[in-house]
């Protein structure tokens, strides 16, 4: 087993095998889930949406659209986290207007996707939900 300090020092190296690549990706997901509140909110929201879609017995096409929508939000949240980390690494604790722009634009991408996914979920879930509830 390689000590943490060694793994960090050699983090610039390309993964030598496929299992290592998957392990690094899993570490990224774990980091985001443990440290990013908004990522956890999006994951929980996605689970609720998939639970509701299953209960409503949505067809596979609608379910696939929901999967893509939730995945897009999670991917953008991960890219937002990566952008913030790289900007912080580059400038440290100093303020720079370009750093603010990079962080704000990355956050805006997540917000745009989240709002779009909310609308898509409403379009796909609300009609069958209203039918199921007899309204």
25-72 confidence digits (pLDDT tens)? 999 999 999 999 999 999 999 999 999 999 999 999 999 999 999 999
pTM of the model: 0.85
Domain residue limits, the chain:
45-135
Neighbours of 38 (CB within 10 A): 16
**Sequence-separated (6 or more) residues with CB below 8 Å from residue 46:** 70, 73, 74
Looking at 39, 49, 77, 124, which residue is catalytic? 77
Evaluate whether 132 touches 56 at the Cβ level (below 8 Å): yes
Distances (CA, A) of 108 to 65, 74, 77, 105: 22, 14, 10, 5
Say if residues 125 and 53 touch (Cβ distance below 8 Å). Answer: yes
CATH tag, 45-135: 1.10.287.3610
Q: What are phi and psi of 90, to 5 degrees?
A: -75, -40
pLDDT digit string, tens, across residues 3-32? 454 455 666 667 778 888 899 999 999 999
Check residue 7 and give its pLDDT: 53
Q: Is 77 a catalytic residue?
A: yes
């Amino acid at each position: 087993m390689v000590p943490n300090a060694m793994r960090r020092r050699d983090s610039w190296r390309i993964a030598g095998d496929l299992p290592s690549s998957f392990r690094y990706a899993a570490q990224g997901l774990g980091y985001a889930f443990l440290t990013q509140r908004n990522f956890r909110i999006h994951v929980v929201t996605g689970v609720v949406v998939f639970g509701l879609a299953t209960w409503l017995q949505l067809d596979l096409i609608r379910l696939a659209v929901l999967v893509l929508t939730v995945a897009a939000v999670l991917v953008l949240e991960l890219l937002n986290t990566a952008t913030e980390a790289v900007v912080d690494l580059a400038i440290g604790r100093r303020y720079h207007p370009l750093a603010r722009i990079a962080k704000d634009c990355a956050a805006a991408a997540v917000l745009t996707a989240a709002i779009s996914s909310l609308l898509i979920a409403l379009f796909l879930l609300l009609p069958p939900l209203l039918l199921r509830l007899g309204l």
